[in-house]
Chains A and B, each alone.
Chain A
Amino acid sequence: MVEFKGTLEVLLYLSIVIYLLILITELPKYSWNAAIFPLLVIILSLILIFLKFLQILTKMKWLDKVDKLTYVNINIQNEHAKEEVTTRHAVITFLFTLSLAVGVYLVGFFIAGGLFATLYVYYYSRNIKNVAFMTILVLTLTYLLSRVFYGEIWKGILFGGG
């Protein structure tokens, strides 16, 4: 049904392993009180990840049973929800979200928010009226929120923020 689900899972666990290995190298620097609990949890996590990979690779029956342990098996999808999520669609959505964060960092909330609304709405609706309406709405909202909160709004690293 979803083409990248399995790969995503394996990639996530591999990233966690790398992250844990980096943390382990730091542990000797800390006192006993600061290191004991993280050490226990890291060991537990590594054991669990090892078991998960063992289950994926060998399909051992008892591990499969443990992994599929669930008391709830109701899985209902909204009939109007789109069934398929393609990798391309996922990447585009991730890039849109990432571009908003990077844009805010570089040029501030006003320009990045406005640009994001323009591009996002144009990509999904292809309607100039919608684009103009949403861009104005997002800019107004940004202005109002900057009034609600105290302090100056972030202008972006390129315009003297920081």
Chain B
Amino acid sequence: MLFEVISIAFSQIFTSLGMALLLFGIVIGLTMGIIPGLGAMATIALILPFTYGWEKLDAFLLFSAIFGSTTVGGSVTAILLNTPGTPENIATTLDGYPMARKGKAAEAIATAAFSSMCGGLISLAVFIATIPLLRSISLMFGPPEIFWLGFFALVIISAVTKGSFLGSLIIGCFALILSFHGLNPITGTPRFVHGFIYLYDGFQLIPVLLGTFAVSEMIKLSLERESIAYEVVKVEGSIKKGIKNVLKNRYLFLRSLVIGYIIGAIPGIGGTVANYLAYAQAVQTSKNPETFGKGDPRGIVAPETANNAKDVGQLVPTLSLGIPGSGTMAVLLGAFILHGIQPGPFIIRDNLDVVAMIAVTLVFAFSLSCLFVMFLGQYLARLTTIDVYRIVPIVLVICFIAVYYIRYEILDIFVTLLFGMIGYILVRINVSRILLVLPIIIGPIIERNFILSLSICRGDYTYFFGPISIFLILIMVATIIYPFIKRKYKLKKMSWGD
């Protein structure tokens, strides 16, 4: 079954349309990855409305091509300009830029590209190998488990992201309440519409996604960055040496791969952490840590390997449980809904063809984008000379037009604006924007499963507490109390020491 869908995905890519979408996605992904401020999240959100009405496999081919190439593009500017294209490339600047300054820019770019490519491809192999296991896990989920899974996602994402824990939970619950507007998923009667015809359909996904991820990003870009252009370092050095750097440090590569994959699989943590943790372990495990920060190629191998491994790791919770690993994955969940796929544990069970398409496209996206970067990196880096005031009007106008054309509903642009502003406020107060979008996507699913569980249990509430539900509840509780226990244990240990 798995091999069958993988071969279908391959044959789909090797059509003229498939190849065109793949190349278009890679070019767009690399471009947006290189221009600081525009990552995969905003780009996929912006492209999403244009795919409305497409075949789902074609749409996911395009999304995966964009997703697979943005972080690769980000490493070019991190090395040549000391400005990471995406936040996931921040640690690459530490050794990438000094290497470029030493006249080894081509070697640094080749190191980044080759470690990204190998990191991505090996973690994809791991992901594909675990698909049967993930499918069997998703089969264990019934209505009460899906209900608890929704809350589990909110608590875990609130706990692992930086910023106020209570604030994050409040925003998660607030967004869940926003999903109640419109027709009730059980009775079909209107709810919380306050006499507005507009609210009968509830908050639509595209305005919410574009507002939260694209408009808020433009507001942020407009406020925080006035210009991007900096002096580009001349590209010199050997590409061959860059590839050798990765092969020479294979154990470091493997350790970074594991770190990236695991961090990616934990919902909400994000790429910056994977990037930095991999860099930190490279320094800690090195016999000569003093060379780091001065242009040591190991300082590029570790973060760049972790970066692409993290991208694949994020697919695990998103596709097997419906919990997004990052903002980009939250947008991808929105894409599932737009193309008629219900997010949750059943994505991997009922839509194996889409999962296979994502995995196979990523193989091509990782490989081709790395080759592009290796040989055309110096030219691509010039994209950063585009000023912010040229990007913002174009993206905002595309956003509003795309939102309008989905339903020909002009009020949707005000909803986009509203979510853009809320999204930006969340950025300022350090609350993850995933918490504003995810509950709106999964809210109706949680509610439907809650009511379904209530009607199945017929007064026997133990039905809500099966083994998986209890496991999820225990993890939620442990997540909240673990730091307190750890602190007490530390204090106790200190007093014994005294």
Write the residues of chain A forming the contact surface with B, with a CB cutoff of 8 angstroms: 2, 5, 8-9, 12-13, 16, 19-20, 22-23, 26, 30-31, 33-34, 36-38, 41-42, 44-45, 48-49, 51-52, 55, 63, 65-76, 78-82, 85, 89-90, 93-94, 96-98, 100-101, 104-105, 109, 113, 116-117, 120-121, 124-125, 130, 134, 137-138, 141-142, 145-146, 148-149, 151, 153-154, 161-162
Contact = CB atoms under 8 A, between A and B. Distances in A.
B410 A105 contact: yes
Given A74-B276, A78-B83, A90-B223, A145 B401 contact: yes
A111 to B, nearest CB: 12
B84 A9 contact: no
Nearest to A85: B223
Contact of A30 (B189, B397, B446): B189
Contacts of B218: 97
Contacts of B320: none
A24 to B, nearest CB: 11
B198 to A, nearest CB: 13
B389 A124 contact: yes
10 contacts: A34-B189, A37-B446, A71-B483, A78-B84, A80-B36, A97-B215, A98-B417, A109-B397, A145-B398, A162-B410
B417 A97 contact: yes
Q: What 3 A-B pairs come out closest when comparing CB atoms?
A: A124-B389, A45-B173, A149-B405
Contact of B165 (A38, A70, A78, A97): A70
B374 to A, nearest CB: 25
Interface in B391-406: 392-394, 396-398, 400-402, 404-405
Nearest to A100: B396
B164 interface: yes
A30 B163 CA distance: 36
Given A16-B174, A93-B223, A121-B389, A138 B397 contact: yes
A80 B225 contact: yes
Interface stretch (B11-19, B281-289, B301-309, B420-428): B420-428
A137 B483 CA distance: 53
Nearest to B36: A78
B387 interface: yes
Interface in B119-134: none
Contacts, number: 218
B170 A38 contact: no
Contacts of A97: 215, 218-219, 396, 417, 420-421
A109 B170 contact: no
B230 A80 contact: yes
B400 A101 contact: yes
B470 to A, nearest CB: 20
Given A42-B177, A52-B170, 12 more contacts: A34-B184, A41-B176, A45-B174, A51-B166, A67-B164, A71-B160, A71-B479, A72-B160, A78-B83, A80-B228, A104-B404, A141-B398
A interface majority secondary structure: helix
Contact of A94 (B36, B405, B421): B421
Interface in B248-298: 269-270, 272-273, 276
Nearest to B222: A93
Given A23-B192, A67-B167, A100-B396, A89 B187 contact: no
Q: Which of A41, A67, A85, A148 has the most CB of B within 10 A?
A: A41
Interface in B372-412: 387-390, 392-394, 396-398, 400-402, 404-405, 408, 410
B447 interface: yes
Contact size class for B?
35 or more
A65 B219 CA distance: 32
B186 A34 contact: yes
Given A70-B165, A97-B420, A76 B90 contact: yes
A65 B446 CA distance: 29
B221 to A, nearest CB: 10
A65 to B, nearest CB: 7
B296 to A, nearest CB: 19
A22 B180 CA distance: 14
B191 interface: yes
Contact of B170 (A48, A74, A134, A148): A48
Given A74-B276, A97-B417, A34 B161 contact: no
A52 B429 CA distance: 14
B219 A38 contact: no
A109 B394 contact: no
Given A37-B447, A52-B166, A121 B84 contact: no
Interface string B147-188: 000000000000111111111011001101100100010110
A105 B417 CA distance: 12
Nearest to A135: B393
Contacts of B166: 48, 51-52, 55, 63, 66-67
